[in-house]
C-alpha cells in the first residue's frame, strides 16, 4: 500500500465492494468519503454474502478500523439495520468510527427526493429514493444536521429550530407531509446520539494519524466517475463528487496522502437509472449480460442497463482520477462470446469525438464507433479456482489480449483480474 483509493471507473456497480474487501486484506483502515446508502457494495466470503450500503467494506475483516468520513451522508436507519444484521450473523462492528462532521439524511430528505422525482416526470434522474440529492443540497445550503450535533442537545435544538421551519415550508409546497413533529424528531435524534456517542469522532485526525504512523489506509469510493456531480452525465448523476479528488474533502486529508489510485472497471458497461449510455445494448447480447452477470441493483433491485465497454468512459476515468492501476471485474460473464466490441470513438452529427462530451443531448445522438475482437472460450463454474491457480498466463489467450488492449488504450496497467464473485476468485498480477 500504504494508502490506496478504490474508485468506480464507470456508472457504479463495477465490483468495488469485492475489490475493496480483497484489498482490505492488507489494510489497517478502510475509509468511506462520499455518497450514502445509495451505494450497494456486495461481498462474498465463502458461502456468506454481505450487501453493504453505508458501512465500509472492511467491516467484514477482523481488526480493520472502518471510518465513515465527513463527506458521507449518513442514513441512520440504514446504519442501524446493517449493524444489527452483521451482529445477528456473529460479526462485530468494533472499530467503526463516524465523523462528527458527516451530514445526516432525515425523513424530509427522503420525502423531497420522491416529490422532486415525481415533478421531473419523464425527465426524472431515476434516483435510488434514499434522499441523497436533497441531503447534499441542504449541506451546501448550510441547512444540514450533522452527526456531532446529536451529541449536544442545545446545539441540536438550535439547528432544528432554524432548519425545520424552512423544510416544512418546502414540503408544504411540494405536497408531502412529515409524520414527525419537532419534539419527536429531537428525541429520536438525541437517542441516536446516545447510541453512537462512542463512535462519533473527528475522523480526519484518526485517518491522518493512521497515515503518519505508516498504517495501510484504503479509501473506498462509492458510485462511479460517470455519476460524479461535475464530471458525470449531468444531470443524470448522483449529488456527490465520486472522483478521487473527493477523498481530500470527504476524508479530511491533503492531496499528497493517496499513493495508489485503483480504478475498478467492469469488463462491459452497466448503468442503473436514467441518462445517456451510448454503448447500451437493447438486444440479446444485452439480455445475456443482464442474466449471466446478475445485473440487478443491490440497493433498489432494479435491472441494470447493459452494453459494451466504452473506451471514452475508460479514458475519462483514467484522466479525472489520475488512475495508477485497474482492477477489471466480471470477465467471466463474457465467457463464450464469439465476438466482443469496444467503443473507441463516437460519431455525433458526422463528427468524430474521442473524449466524453459534457452535453447530454449530444450523448443521446452519439453513435459508437466500435472495434471488434475475438471472444474466448470459458470454463465450467466449478473450475474457476483451477483457473485462478493457473495465474494470469493460464487465462484464455483472447482474454489476455482484451486486457492488454485496455491497458494499451488507457495507458493504465491492469493489476487485478476478477473472474468470479468470491474473494478468492481473483488474480493479482
Q: Of 239 and 241, which has the nearer Cβ to ligand IMP?
A: 239
Residue 91 CB, nearest approach to ligand IMP (Å): 22
Q: Of 12 and 56, which has the nearer Cβ to ligand IMP?
A: 12
* Strand 309-310 to 305-307 pairing: unpaired
Q: Of 273 and 378, which has the nearer Cβ to ligand IMP?
A: 273
CA angle 320, 326, 329 (to 5 degrees): 120
Locate 351 and state its grid cell. Answer: 463528427
Q: Of 77 and 151, which has the nearer Cβ to ligand IMP?
A: 77
Answer positive or negative: Cα dihedral of 352, 356, 360, 366.
positive
Residue 125 CB, nearest approach to ligand IMP (Å): 5
Residue 298 CB, nearest approach to ligand IMP (Å): 8
Locate 31 and state its grid cell. Answer: 475509509
Which residue in the list 13, 75, 113, 332 is annotated as catalytic? Answer: 13
Question: What is residue 302's DSSP assignment?
Answer: P
Residue 47 CB, nearest approach to ligand IMP (Å): 25
State the Cα–Cα distance between residues 218 and 223, nearest whole angstrom. 16
* Interaxial angle between packed helices 107-120 and 132-140, expressed in degrees from 0 to 180 and rounded to the nearest 10: 110
State the Cα–Cα distance between residues 195 and 338, nearest whole angstrom. 56
* Run of H or E including 43: strand 41-45
Q: Of 13 and 75, which has the nearer Cβ to ligand IMP?
A: 13
Which residue in the list 41, 53, 109, 316 is annotated as catalytic? Answer: 41
CA distances from 112 to 28, 77, 171, 421 (A): 38, 17, 7, 36
State the Cα–Cα distance between residues 149 and 407, nearest whole angstrom. 47
Q: Of 5 and 125, which has the nearer Cβ to ligand IMP?
A: 125
Q: Is 149 a catalytic residue?
A: no
Locate 418 and state its grid cell. Answer: 476478477
Residue 18 CB, nearest approach to ligand IMP (Å): 14
Applying CB under 6 A, which residues contact ligand IMP? 11-13, 38-40, 125-128, 130, 132-133, 222-223, 227, 236, 238-239, 272-273
Residue 174 CB, nearest approach to ligand IMP (Å): 16
Query: Is residue 398 helix, strand or coil?
Result: helix
Tell which phi-psi region holds residue 336, choosing left (phi > 0), alpha (psi between -120 and 50) or beta: left
Q: Is 41 a catalytic residue?
A: yes
Q: Which residues are catalytic?
A: 13, 41
Amino acid at each position: 500500500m500504504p494508502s490506496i483509493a478504490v474508485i468506480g471507473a464507470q456508472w457504479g456497480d463495477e465490483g468495488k465492494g469485492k475489490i475493496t474487501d480483497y484489498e482490505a486484506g492488507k489494510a489497517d483502515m478502510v475509509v468511506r468519503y462520499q455518497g450514502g446508502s445509495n451505494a450497494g457494495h456486495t461481498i462474498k466470503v465463502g458461502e456468506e454474502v454481505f450487501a453493504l450500503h453505508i458501512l465500509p467494506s472492511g467491516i467484514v475483516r477482523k481488526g480493520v478500523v472502518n471510518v465513515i468520513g465527513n463527506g458521507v451522508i449518513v442514513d441512520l436507519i440504514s446504519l442501524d439495520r446493517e449493524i444489527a444484521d452483521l451482529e445477528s450473523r456473529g460479526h462485530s462492528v468494533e472499530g467503526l468510527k463516524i465523523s462528527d462532521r458527516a451530514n445526516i439524511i432525515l425523513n424530509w430528505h427522503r420525502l423531497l427526493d420522491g416529490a422532486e422525482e415525481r415533478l421531473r416526470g419523464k425527465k426524472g434522474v431515476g434516483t435510488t429514493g434514499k434522499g441523497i440529492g436533497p441531503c447534499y443540497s441542504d449541506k451546501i445550503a448550510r441547512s444540514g444536521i450533522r452527526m456531532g450535533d446529536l451529541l449536544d442537545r442545545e446545539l441540536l435544538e438550535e439547528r432544528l429550530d432554524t432548519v425545520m421551519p424552512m423544510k416544512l415550508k418546502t414540503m408544504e409546497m411540494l405536497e408531502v407531509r412529515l409524520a414527525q413533529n419537532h419534539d419527536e424528531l429531537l428525541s429520536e435524534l438525541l437517542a441516536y446520539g446516545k447510541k453512537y456517542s462512542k463512535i462519533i469522532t473527528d475522523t480526519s485526525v484518526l485517518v491522518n494519524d493512521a497515515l503518519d504512523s505508516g498504517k495501510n489506509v484504503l479509501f473506498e469510493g462509492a458510485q462511479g466517475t460517470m455519476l460524479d456531480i461535475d464530471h458525470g452525465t449531468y444531470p443524470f448523476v448522483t449529488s456527490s463528487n465520486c472522483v478521487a479528488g473527493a477523498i481530500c474533502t470527504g476524508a479530511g486529508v491533503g492531496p499528497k496522502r493517496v499513493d495508489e489510485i485503483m480504478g475498478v472497471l467492469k469488463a462491459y458497461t452497466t448503468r442503473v437509472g436514467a441518462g445517456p449510455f451510448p454503448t447500451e445494448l437493447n438486444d440479446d447480447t444485452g439480455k445475456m449480460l443482464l442474466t449471466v452477470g446478475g445485473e440487478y441493483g443491490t440497493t433498489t433491485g432494479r435491472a441494470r442497463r447493459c452494453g459494451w465497454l466504452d473506451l471514452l468512459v475508460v479514458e475519462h476515468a483514467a484522466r479525472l482520477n489520475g488512475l495508477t492501476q485497474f482492477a477489471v471485474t466480471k470477465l467471466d460473464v463474457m465467457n463464450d462470446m464469439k465476438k466482443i466490441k469496444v467503443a473507441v470513438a463516437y460519431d455525433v452529427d458526422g463528427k468524430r469525438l474521442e473524449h466524453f462530451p459534457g452535453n447530454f443531448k449530444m450523448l443521446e445522438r452519439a453513435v459508437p464507433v466500435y472495434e471488434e475482437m475475438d471472444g474466448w472460450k470459458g470454463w465450467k463454474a466449478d473450475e474457476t479456482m483451477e483457473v485462478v491457480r493457473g495465474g494470469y498466463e493460464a487465462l484464455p489467450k483472447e482474454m489476455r489480449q482484451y486486457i492488454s488492449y485496455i491497458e494499451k488504450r488507457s495507458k493504465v496497467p491492469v493489476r487485478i483480474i476478477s473472474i468470479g464473485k468470491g474473494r478468492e476468485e481473483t488474480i493479482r498480477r
